[in-house]
Amino acid sequence: MVALAGLGAGALHVVSGPDHLAALGPVAARAPERAVGLGALWGVGHGVGVLLIAGLARLGGSALDLASLSGWAEVAVGVVLVILGFRALRRVHDRTTHDHPVAVRSALGVGLLHGAAGAHHLFVVLPSLLLEPAQAALYLGAYLVAAVLAMACAGGLVALGMRGRGSGARVAIHRALGAAALLTGVVWIGVSLG
């Protein structure tokens, strides 16, 4: 039962966040042949970020001002979304192999930042704080697995949407996802600072 709760929480959380999908979209559309793997890496980063917050909350308790830290992390999420959006809008679409490590680092790093940001993650990890250590580990492990699988599926949907499209359509989709990331980032910053 604890594992099912973790799976449900992880899957629902990562696909219900517009910031999550906005961050993955341009990265996955840039490399649709690797979109499933990039989505999985994003999910790994996100899950690890949430696990770090859970660990800090479990160890530090009330000594840490997680609300203040998460507020600034949310602003950082918005800034990263703006950067991803701008990069997608101005990128020249060539097929160079040196882009692969950049996409991998982007997916993993942006996922990690998203996982570590936000006080709302405390609601996701709250059950783990109330459980015995072994059950908490099971819950959080299931959360991580669900985050990886859900974002791999999201990357797969981007790849599916790109399949069979000509290069002009692929560029247009990539730029549209970049514009969505940019807009989401601007709104995210405004809400975080507001």
Q: Which two tokens stand for residue 138?
A: 């099971």
Q: What are phi and psi of 43, to 5 degrees?
A: -65, -40
**Is residue 155 scored above 80 in pLDDT?**
yes
Mean pLDDT of 154-168: 91
Q: What residue numbers bound the domain in which 29 lies?
A: 2-193
* Cα angle 96-185-55, degrees, rounded to a multiple of 5: 90
What pLDDT digit, counting tens, does each position of 65-103 carry? 666 777 788 888 899 999 999 988 887 555 444 456 667
Mean pLDDT of 180-187: 95
The distance from CA 32 to its chain's CA centroid, rounded to whole angstroms, is: 17
How many alpha carbons lie under 13 Å from residue 153 in its C-beta half-sphere?
10
Instruction: Name the nearest CA neighbour of 116 among 58, 72, 83, 81.
Output: 72
Distance of alpha carbon 194 from alpha carbon 61, whole angstroms = 27
Mean pLDDT of 114-135: 74
Would you state the pLDDT for residue 124? 72
Mean pLDDT of 9-37: 86
What pLDDT digit, counting tens, does each position of 126-151 carry? 777 778 889 988 988 898 899 899 99
Q: Which two tokens stand for residue 194?
A: 């507001």
100 CB-near residues (< 8 Å, 6+ apart): 31, 34
DSSP annotation of 63: G
Total number of domains in the chain: 1
DSSP notation for 112-169: HHHHH--THHHHHHHHHHHS-HHHHHHHHHHHHHHHHHHHHHHHHHHHHHHTT--HHH
The Cβ of residue 158 has, within 10 Å, a number of other Cβ atoms equal to 26
